[in-house]
Structure 1
């Protein structure tokens, strides 16, 4: 992979969701071990707007993940429709669709993430999730 900020940011979207999947499913007992590398991608002043419109900071996100280890066995996470919506210098804003499938239920959200890329390190600055209307069962 080269040092293109957009490519590195796009890669980070997929990588972060792979780690989130490990936490939620605790596949092979790797859930707890995935928390540290997952939290390393979030800047100290990271904040997000959740699908329920709550504004939370990095510490709250970390607590959520610590309490969610293994809570969703069988979960599938799919990232699609990944688009760059803004890019200036090392900062990239990406929009993507995130779909969760579990127990024949499917939910989706559109997210906008703002990331800062420095060489081989990517930090998430902000995330805004908007739920999509309930879809048909998978």
Structure 2
């Protein structure tokens, strides 16, 4: 599988485990946070801007905060790619037990490090209205 697509899937598996399971091991959070650049930025669905310290603080306080969370990823597409990274667009569905799902389009900018590691540099989330 494309390494950028695999990174999207792997990161969201960690997010699902960390947010959805109060018994998640601390290593889940550490592994997740190590995927983000120290210069990471994110535009949330509500229009907020988060930097790495804010994302770090958020995840560290959210173990099990969304019990039973399920995250689905689909429609991944490479929008641009180079030796230095890629921009990937995907559709994300989040659902809690007994609730309607939330849908979003996400655009992530990845940096490719010389050691082959892929890190998240920027993420833009846009809500998909539900009819």
Q: TM-score, normalised by structure 1?
A: 0.87
CA contact (8 A) 1:24 1:71 kept: yes
RMSD, aligned CA: 1.5
* Partners of 1:73 and 1:31 in 2: CA distance: 15
Match for residue 4 of structure 2?
Answer: 9
Give the 3 Å change call, closer, same or farther, for CA 31–99 of structure 1 in structure 2: farther
CA contact (8 A) 1:8 1:117 kept: no
Q: Encode CA deviations 1:17-66: one digit per residue, 9 max, x unaligned.
A: 00100111126x22533111111010010001001100110110111111
Worse-matched range after superposition: 116-125 or 75-84: 116-125
Aligned pairs for 1:110-121 within 5 A: 110-118=105-113, 119-121=115-117
Number of residue pairs aligned between Structure 1 and Structure 2:
129
* Partners of 1:8 and 1:111 in 2: CA distance: 17
Q: Encode CA deviations 1:75-97: one digit per residue, 9 max, x unaligned.
A: 11000010000112131000000
Structure 1 unmatched ranges of 5 or more: 2-6
**Is the aligned partner of 1:89 residue 2:83?**
yes
- 1:60 is paired with a residue whose SS is helix
Structure 2 unmatched ranges of 5 or more: none
* Partners of 2:48 and 2:67 in 1: CA distance: 25
**Is the aligned partner of 1:134 residue 2:118?**
no
Q: TM-score, normalised by structure 2?
A: 0.91
Task: Spell out structure 1 runs of 4+ moving beyond 3 A.
Answer: none
Higher helix share: 1
Pick one of 114, 120, 126 that aligns with 1:124: 120
Give the superposition deviation at 1:120: 3.4
Match for residue 17 of structure 2?
Answer: 22
- 2:126 is paired with a residue whose SS is strand
- 2:101 is paired with a residue whose SS is strand
- 1:105 is paired with a residue whose SS is coil
